[in-house]
Structure 1
Amino acid sequence: MTHDVFNQAHPLTGHDVSADAALMDGVEREGAGWATGELRRLGLLAGSEQAQDWGRLANEHPPVLRTHDRYGRRIDEVEFHPAWHELMTVAVDNGMHATPWSSARPGAHVARAAKFFVWSQVEAGHGCPISMTYASIAALRHSPALAADWEPLLASRSYDFGLRPPLGKRGVLAGMAMTEKQGGSDVRAGTTRAEPQIDGSYLLTGHKWFNSAPMCDVFLVLAQAPGGLSCFLLPRVLPDGTRNAVHLMRLKDKLGNKSNASAEVEYHGATAWLVGEEGRGLRTILEMVNMTRLDCVIGSAAGMRYGVTQAVHHARNRGAFGRKLADQPLMRNVLADLALESEAATVLMTRLAGATDRAIAGDQAEAALRRTALAVGKYWVCKRAPVHAAEALECLGGNGYVEESQMPRLFRESPLNGIWEGSGNVAALDVLRALGREPGAQEAFFAEVALAAGADRHLDAAADRLRKSLDDTTDFEIRARRVAEDMALVLQGSLLVRLAPAAVADAFCVSRLSGDAGRAFGTLPTGLDLDVLIERASF
């Protein structure tokens, strides 16, 4: 026989993706323990062969733009593979979009974050419209009349795909359009015009270089009104059933995120309604951006968790040089280090979700912590995702480099959250703005860190160095990335010292805060309990 298959890992299916100690401990701790049953059911579906096939098919058959019908009429439709709709249906059914806003239950946003973390491990691309729909409520509430009409539909657990008058649908999805060719992150450079009409609406004329998820029902759009840059609500279909004057020019051919459509659009006198006040559009839409930044952290943490679980599974089922890969000392170091990075991201993610829940409920101290910690987490966790994905892929050797393993898809997705909602420099500079302009932000950050004071000498020393660094504002902007990195590591260290097993906290503090480790994954110092780290990353 020439084709006897042995010493190959079997596909990792039939497991509960929510069986993640760091995640479930965080859910309980942050006030969403009531959602455990829902998470378990979702986790079992996420680990099923069926769901994994949906993720594969949605990426192998990306969306297609149909600008015109066969008679030459403009239609601007985006067609998706049925697997995309299956993924979206599960996400909406489980309330991963705007449902928490309509819930008075404490921990609703934490429960939603945990579901988003679990389901993102099946497929990341469809999380884009889910995330934007979730975040749109924060901006819409600047216009109570609009929010009254749209919130119930945005929060509905009915996935109702198709271009029809949105206020007559069972549920709707929201996207946003901010950037233009000449502006990028500098959205004030936008040239799209908004002309006020007698009936209170506006007509928008211009373009957007990136329109996220153009198949959504409604969008938040930035445009220049007479009073300055303003935020508008723009539906694809008008109340009378006619198509709005929105033309999809082409879909982006992206590195990753293949299942999700991203478009270049033009507005030719498209009807829209003002959200908030004229001239305050950036402040208004940043309410939405801050919510999607949380999802960038969640998405990156989910990718890390997926990567390390695949790496551990492969290493436990593959032998080399007389023993399993997972029993080889150097491979154990790599796996433990990947698991450590993943757990630190997960603990920070659940803490940020908890702060979001309490800030929305009116807790000012949590709002102050969230303002700084969210910018810090967005910068660092998203920065760590690509190198983590690369190392996890390498653990599978040549098998990991083959598309069938799905690891290349993980690798291609990994840089995206670092770019979305402000790339690295934007996020790092936002950390400095929070420290300098937001009353109580720095104090709230160090109050959180101080909860672990005296428990680990490496953490205490790193916190002291950080305080001195922040006191010295010389070349502050040049040092912005280093400041954000140091703050992230100190915050993660403090959370792990308080909330994780000692083996996890000790490994993090000695390797990330003391400098007693190399720069690549797999350089943890000797004397650590690697068994605990690897076991917590296993199914």
Structure 2
Amino acid sequence: MKNTASSHSSKTERSNRVLDNQYQPSKDFWESDLILSFFLKKEFPEETWNYLQPFLSQLGKTAATIMDELSLTADKHGPVLKKRNHLGETVNEIVFHPYYNELLKIAVESGLFKVKWSIEARKNHGDYLHRMGFGLAFLYGMGDASVPCPLCMTDGAARLIDRYGRDEDKGRLLPHIYADLVEELYTGAMFLTEKIGGSDVGANLVEANHQEGDYYLLNGEKWFCSNANADLILVLARTKPEIEGTKGLSIFLVERQKPDGTTNEMDVIRLKEKLGVRSMASAEILLTDTLGKRLGKEGEGFKIMTDMINLSRLWNAVIAISSYRRCLVEAYQFLSHRQTFGKKALEHALVRTKLEELIANYLADFYLTWKTIRTLDEGDNGNEKSRELVRILTPMVKKKTAETAVYGIRESMELMGGLGYIEDTVIPKFMRDTLVLPIWEGAGNIMVLDMLRAIRKSDGLSILYSEMYKIFNESGKFEDELNKLENLMGAIENFKEMDQDSLEASAKGIFEDLTRLYQIALLKKAMVQENEPWILPTIEYLQGRKKESHLISPLSVQQVKGMMGWR
């Protein structure tokens, strides 16, 4: 006699599932990502590629297998301020969950700083340092988007110490940046903003009183100090209070210990309760006779700090696209194995149309980000044209990628329905973490103002125009883009005649259109036969010709898979 109960149970077990039996998430983000691996391999000469590739391979596995648990747990158990010890002594100790320290350890062991700051890397691969470092940062960002803030600050602190520090400080401190052990790592921070001004640092009040040599005592309150427990802190302070604005600011390196080995006092008022990036510490900090060592000349603090800010903006962009990529992958894998209304969700035209939009936006930002990274590498290696171009590309890419990521991750969440909203999955955390990206390192409106400054004070716009014109003019299929480019340049020329209010109100839309045109040009320039499956439909989407008609022919399932470029 047939065991009907057993048969029914077996059938229910097979069918009553969220995803089908074939679902298997990636175990290696580097191996799975055809777009990233194809792109990066073309960026480096063979010797540099052979040096970098093992680091990428190892981190790709780690990010895909163990970082989720570490990240989600550290997020739920954020840092705690231990103000005093049992004897009533003020200690200002910030205590982290052990998984936060594990995430830092992964960053150190991944080689993320080693490939950029070690003597070997700088000697043998000096033309490619930013590209190597950001290649690893991208993979790390697919596993966690919170710890990259301290990593970013550390990279920026190293940059300022290397460029403006004394040789003795470089020799003493930089080895702690590319340390092999997390216990030897010195992380960095940037104490920039104050209550009175926020982004308007020219209003800052913190004062620096000269002691001897390059040493000053700093006094005042810093309002938003991320990676508050850092070992190497760059602080803006006013050496001459009578000089208003940014011209009165100098920059100081503050270390946790004074040269005599005693603690350098900084009073942590409180930790910030943030919507996202909760596993790392942001604080309000009161400086009281805190010892700082001036970098560069007096009065050049803000100018020097922009070196760190601009690198931070590029970190912001890299983490934006890597977070977006991760969430897009989560949605794509879900849709590929979810049965809805009698077929896989990916087979529904509305789903494919939405994925086409999201993937195209991602790819446009991916190529813009890596163009900016390459340009920074070239500028750092003496290319004056690239130095001019990176001044306009940096605020452009920061603004665009942050806004795209917030929108794209929200849409990826919706594609997964209720499951995408549940905290058991990674998307809610990435959503919360990403919401800060349009705000940190200069909000979107500040980026518009920075682009305006860039076109006034550099040749970046003319270089951008020449590059786009050449690309569009060499093909017979970009007449519309050429016309739009000329119209935009005409509108920008009219900026000279506008009052400030009209100028600011007009600039945002014009720069957004300019960004989209430049992304089309970069994609066109990058396209070869091997990457055509993802670049060609992206160009066609960005050109907007589908939007000119209400009648749309959706991409096939195979075309969407080609765009996604995920193994």
Q: Is the contact made by 1:201 and 1:271 (CA closer than 8 Å) also made in structure 2? A: yes
Partner of 2:520: 493
Partner of 2:177: 155
Q: Is the contact made by 1:311 and 1:335 (CA closer than 8 Å) also made in structure 2? A: no
Q: Is the contact made by 2:84 and 2:91 (CA closer than 8 Å) also made in structure 1? A: yes
CA distance in 2, matches of 1:531, 1:215: 49
Partner of 1:356: 376
Q: Quick one: percent identity of the two aligned structures?
A: 26
Q: Is the contact made by 1:26 and 1:351 (CA closer than 8 Å) also made in structure 2? A: no
CA distance in 2, matches of 1:447, 1:358: 18
CA distance in 1, matches of 2:551, 2:222: 46
> Bigger shift: 470-479 or 319-328?
470-479
Residue 8 in structure 1 maps to residue 38 in structure 2: no
Partner of 1:166: none
Partner of residue 312 from structure 1, selected from 319, 327, 332 = 332
Counterparts of 1:454-533 in structure 2, within 5 Å, are 454=473, 455=475, 456-457=477-478, 458-473=480-495, 474=498, 475-500=502-527, 501-514=531-544, 516-517=546-547, 525-526=552-553, 528=555, 531-533=558-560
Q: Is the contact made by 1:23 and 1:350 (CA closer than 8 Å) also made in structure 2? A: no
CA distance in 2, matches of 1:18, 1:101: 26
CA distance in 1, matches of 2:545, 2:96: 48
Cα deviation digits, residues 388-407 of structure 1 (max 9, x gap): 11100001100011000121
Q: 1:383 to 1:341 in 2, by over 3 A?
A: same
CA distance in 2, matches of 1:293, 1:98: 21
1:333 partner amino acid: T
Q: 1:113 to 1:255 in 2, by over 3 A?
A: same
- Structure 1 spans left out of the alignment, 5+ residues: 162-169
Deviation at residue 70 of structure 1 after TM alignment? 1.2
> Bigger shift: 31-40 or 1-10?
1-10
Partner of 1:183: 197
1:123 partner amino acid: D
CA distance in 2, matches of 1:284, 1:531: 50
1:404 partner amino acid: D
1:305 partner amino acid: R
> Bigger shift: 475-484 or 319-328?
475-484
Deviation at residue 472 of structure 1 after TM alignment? 2.0
Counterparts of 1:52-451 in structure 2, within 5 Å, are 52-97=68-113, 99-102=115-118, 103-104=122-123, 105=125, 106-140=127-161, 141-145=163-167, 147-161=169-183, 170-226=184-240, 228-438=248-458, 440-451=459-470
CA distance in 2, matches of 1:436, 1:530: 47
CA distance in 2, matches of 1:212, 1:524: 49
- Secondary structure of 2:472's counterpart equals coil
Q: Is the contact made by 1:224 and 1:230 (CA closer than 8 Å) also made in structure 2? A: yes
Cα deviation digits, residues 265-324 of structure 1 (max 9, x gap): 001111111111111111011111011111011011111101110110000111000000
Partner of 1:29: 42
Cα deviation digits, residues 31-85 of structure 1 (max 9, x gap): 363423321221111111x222111111121111111111111111111112111
Deviation at residue 509 of structure 1 after TM alignment? 3.7
Q: CA RMSD in A?
A: 2.4
Partner of 2:63: 46
Cα deviation digits, residues 308-361 of structure 1 (max 9, x gap): 101100001110000000111111111222111112221122211111111111
1:38 partner amino acid: F
- Secondary structure of 2:185's counterpart equals coil
Cα deviation digits, residues 204-240 of structure 1 (max 9, x gap): 1101111110111020001111272111111122233
- Greater per-residue helix proportion: 2
Q: 1:488 to 1:150 in 2, by over 3 A?
A: farther
Cα deviation digits, residues 249-275 of structure 1 (max 9, x gap): 111111111111101100111111111
1:336 partner amino acid: E
Using the size of structure 2 for normalisation, the TM-score is 0.87
> Bigger shift: 356-365 or 472-481?
472-481
- Secondary structure of 1:477's counterpart equals helix
Q: 1:24 to 1:460 in 2, by over 3 A?
A: farther
2:234 partner amino acid: L
1:47 partner amino acid: A
CA distance in 1, matches of 2:563, 2:541: 18
Deviation at residue 151 of structure 1 after TM alignment? 4.6
CA distance in 1, matches of 2:201, 2:172: 25
Using the size of structure 1 for normalisation, the TM-score is 0.92
Cα deviation digits, residues 11-47 of structure 1 (max 9, x gap): 7342334532332233233336342332122111111
> Bigger shift: 1-10 or 258-267?
1-10
Deviation at residue 193 of structure 1 after TM alignment? 0.9
- Secondary structure of 2:238's counterpart equals strand
> Bigger shift: 33-42 or 208-217?
33-42
1:394 partner amino acid: E
CA distance in 1, matches of 2:54, 2:320: 24
1:442 partner amino acid: L
2:139 partner amino acid: V
- Secondary structure of 1:241's counterpart equals coil
Deviation at residue 450 of structure 1 after TM alignment? 3.2
Partner of residue 20 from structure 1, selected from 33, 36, 45 = 33
1:12 partner amino acid: P
CA distance in 1, matches of 2:87, 2:563: 58
> Bigger shift: 526-535 or 448-457?
526-535
Deviation at residue 525 of structure 1 after TM alignment? 4.3
Q: 1:451 to 1:28 in 2, by over 3 A?
A: farther
CA distance in 1, matches of 2:339, 2:190: 49
Cα deviation digits, residues 374-414 of structure 1 (max 9, x gap): 11111111111111111000011000110001211111112
CA distance in 1, matches of 2:151, 2:33: 23
Q: 1:185 to 1:11 in 2, by over 3 A?
A: farther
2:85 partner amino acid: D
CA distance in 2, matches of 1:513, 1:466: 16
CA distance in 2, matches of 1:344, 1:136: 30
